[in-house]
Chain A
């Protein structure tokens, strides 16, 4: 446990450490939450969906039968029809003549990357701003929160569209845009949560014990305030995936039209909605199911972390 030499009463001390280690084990908050999660069916369903999604994204090259974005079968696509199911093409071809199944599999990868990167970006920005506001208070708080209020008054999709348009057609643009739109949401959530924690007696107790303000904020207030933010991040992953689709749909996605992405697949297929509904339906279902998985997981996490659900 420690490298320090046991100078006095080594025997008593060893007894004591042994005592602690043996059968008495505490359950920390996160351990408790995890135990509750495991007993919650919607958490299990959510986790399975998310797991499947992540596995598909990671192992896309192994799962997909072809290289993505190869339009080598364009000659089989006519203005009026795209070939459906066949032996070589499980789900048929897409309107540009590439394998639909391959596109869907690689789309998972694209969505996951964009979802995670943009949420991480939004989370990092939000945690920094929220900690500044909630931890320092005073004019820093006022300044940060005014900025956040302004950003929040703009609808997030509009904000994302403007940022994506400003950054131009770069692959990172869409991630920055979606992440930036999440920053004020995370910042406000964390600040509110920190303010609520700051009024708790344990913070007063920490001050009266002589802890430094920095220590109190960083190792007591912040960790206790993160629960709702982590829940929000899980839910945001779901919205991020939908927003990627929306931005692609609006033509603001990655410049390479060949990169498989569920949102763009929707766009490309929309004029064939009448004749080939499966072309829009399949990417649509992928988006919906993945978002559902993250939402189920986030909501169960919220429930599990709720102090009232603790016995």
Chain B
């Protein structure tokens, strides 16, 4: 399946200044009974977002009309825990295109990239500056430029470079996914299998 193409994005942000947000918080296990990839956005951060009766908890950021946008800015070590891709589907389904943190768990990073969600890893310092900028102005616009691998707050004149694997960058810019690539080299795989079993 082709993924969304990603080149640049300018958006206000949703701040989540909590560290070690694990995949059980992003999407609790009881929502993993679906057999399709869609419809997980409504359950994103479910137990933080809704009370037992299913009413929105007003103090949780996703329920706070002050904040909106397609960039989620989260505390250090985002996405640890389970390999459930449902976490990436929930984030994508909710409408986030970028997650910013100073550290990401490996599997989450891969899952996000495989769904066209860009994980932007920045320094602790820059993360703090971002949180401060959002606190000062909830509508502050953050710009993510994948081609140049920069994240910036134009109104504040601050920016930082981020790393991304060149192959993954190409995939995102063109909307390719790994499976397309793997299917294109089945001859090589066949040859390798024959050699390995020779």
Q: Do these two chains really belong together in a complex? A: no
